[in-house]
């Protein structure tokens, strides 16, 4: 039977060895992600409310543990973006997630070394953000919301299919908003081919009442809501006014339809944010942004709201319902 002293000595050796082993283990790295957003931090925005936090958690990143998120929002003042981008650089973030063209442009001007993940719906090659989609080069890569163009033409086709008698369709866009010209051009071209008149109306600031009054004065019979973060932020006002003026409307994101809009056509928002998280993860782990192809959705989603259609007195075409990926009723 082992004596007490040898037992204590052996136990002490084991304890010291265990402590030394524990001390030898490297501490878990804490990653720092910067978010550069042109909008406002409000909980009603699904992106700002950390829509990609669950995918990040699934990949092993937990804010407050091994992840620090530096959030910089311009509150709609694009002139602030360059300064906010420089703040993220000074904070030595590992990756910058830049939302929208103004954010990407500001981040790109602020650093040539920190990897940048873009989240956008414009052609990043034409915007000179990347050299090509397959081989971006430089320090920018990321996730596109649309596979090509802005989907304005397809949305207009969906409106015409939904309201066959419509000859006048309105397009609302934010006043002096960056990146909207391409959407307007695509919508005008599609309108001409469909034989409908497109009426472009600018929303001045947050004067949605004024914009919808102008749409009504033009006798528009349907509405194409431009794809812009402002209209995502203010979607409930827009949806309520579309109902008030009895305008069938098509939107960019499924959340518009889940909140009462008629229909949306675009990328699956869950898949989009999952891809954003995947890119952040790969860059955290040392991948070079210039070698990561820009991700594009291979399949777009049509979401329709039967309750809204019924309230508008619309009988949605059966072929459209059969193509829908999600029907809310």
From the centroid of its chain, how far is CA 302?
A: 17
Q: What pairing do the DSSP bridges indicate for beta strands 222-225 and 249-251?
A: parallel
Element (H, E) at 137: none
Whole-angstrom distance, CA of residue 144 vs CA of residue 90:
27
Q: Residue 22: what pLDDT?
A: 45
In the chain, list all ranges with CATH 3.40.50.2300: 31-145+268-291, 152-266+301-328
Please provide the CATH number assigned to the domain covering 31-145+268-291. Answer: 3.40.50.2300
Q: What is the pLDDT along the chain (329 residues), one digit of tens a residue?
A: 445 555 444 545 454 554 454 455 456 899 999 999 987 776 445 554 556 778 899 999 999 999 999 999 998 788 999 999 999 999 999 999 999 889 999 999 999 999 999 998 888 998 899 999 999 999 999 999 887 768 899 999 999 999 999 999 999 998 866 567 888 889 999 999 999 999 999 999 889 999 999 999 999 999 999 988 888 889 999 999 999 999 999 999 898 999 999 999 998 888 888 999 999 999 999 999 999 999 999 889 999 999 999 999 999 999 999 999 999 98
Q: Residue 120: what pLDDT?
A: 87
How many Cβ atoms sit within 10 Å of the Cβ of residue 104?
28
How many Cβ atoms sit within 10 Å of the Cβ of residue 137?
13
Whole-angstrom distance, CA of residue 108 vs CA of residue 260:
37
Q: Residue 307: what pLDDT?
A: 97
Of the candidate CATH numbers 1.10.3720.10, 3.40.50.2300, 1.20.140.10, 3.40.50.1820, the domain formed by 152-266+301-328 belongs to 3.40.50.2300
Token pair recorded at residue 315? 């009988």
Closest C-alpha among 48, 34, 41, 228 to residue 120:
228
Cβ within 8 Å of residue 6, ≥6 positions away: none
Q: Residue 176: what pLDDT?
A: 67
Enter the pTM of the model.
0.80
From the centroid of its chain, how far is CA 238?
A: 19
Contact assessment for residue 209 and residue 234, using Cβ atoms and an 8 Å cutoff? no
Q: Residue 100: what pLDDT?
A: 87
The CA–CA distances, whole Å, from 37 to 98, 143, 205 equal 6, 15, 18
Task: Judge residue 201's burial from the number of C-beta atoms within 10 Å of its C-beta, 0-12 exposed, 13-18 middle, 19 or more buried.
Answer: buried
Q: Residue 7: what pLDDT?
A: 44
């Amino acid at each position: 039977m082992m004596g007490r002293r040898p037992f204590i000595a052996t136990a002490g050796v084991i304890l010291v060895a265990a402590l030394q082993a524990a001390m030898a283990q490297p501490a878990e790295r804490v990653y720092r992600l910067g978010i550069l957003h042109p909008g406002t931090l409000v909980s009603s925005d699904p992106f700002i409310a950390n829509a990609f936090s669950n995918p990040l958690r699934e990949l092993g990143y937990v804010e407050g543990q091994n992840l620090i998120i530096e959030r910089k929002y311009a509150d709609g003042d694009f002139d602030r973006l360059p300064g906010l981008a420089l703040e993220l650089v000074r904070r030595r973030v590992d990756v910058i997630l830049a939302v929208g063209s103004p954010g990407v442009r500001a981040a790109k001007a602020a650093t040539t070394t920190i990897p940048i993940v873009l989240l956008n719906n414009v052609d990043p090659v034409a915007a000179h953000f990347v050299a090509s989609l397959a081989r971006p080069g430089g320090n920018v890569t990321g996730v596109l919301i649309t596979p090509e163009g802005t989907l304005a033409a397809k949305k207009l086709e969906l409106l015409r299919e939904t309201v066959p008698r419509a000859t006048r369709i309105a397009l609302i866009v934010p006043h002096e908003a960056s990146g909207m010209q391409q959407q307007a051009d695509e919508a005008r071209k599609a309108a001409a081919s469909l034989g409908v008149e497109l009426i472009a109306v600018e929303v001045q600031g947050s004067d949605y009442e004024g914009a919808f009054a102008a749409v009504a004065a033009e006798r528009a019979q349907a509405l194409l809501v431009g794809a812009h973060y402002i209209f995502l932020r203010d979607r409930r006002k827009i949806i309520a006014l579309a109902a008030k003026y009895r305008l069938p409307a098509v939107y960019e994101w499924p959340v518009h339809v889940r909140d009462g809009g008629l229909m949306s056509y675009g990328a699956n928002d869950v898949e989009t944010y999952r891809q954003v998280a995947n890119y952040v993860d790969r860059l955290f782990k040392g991948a070079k942004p210039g070698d990561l192809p820009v991700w594009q959705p291979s399949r777009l989603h049509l979401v329709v709201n039967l309750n809204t259609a019924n309230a508008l007195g619309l009988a949605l075409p059966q072929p459209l319902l059969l193509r829908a990926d999600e029907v809310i009723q």
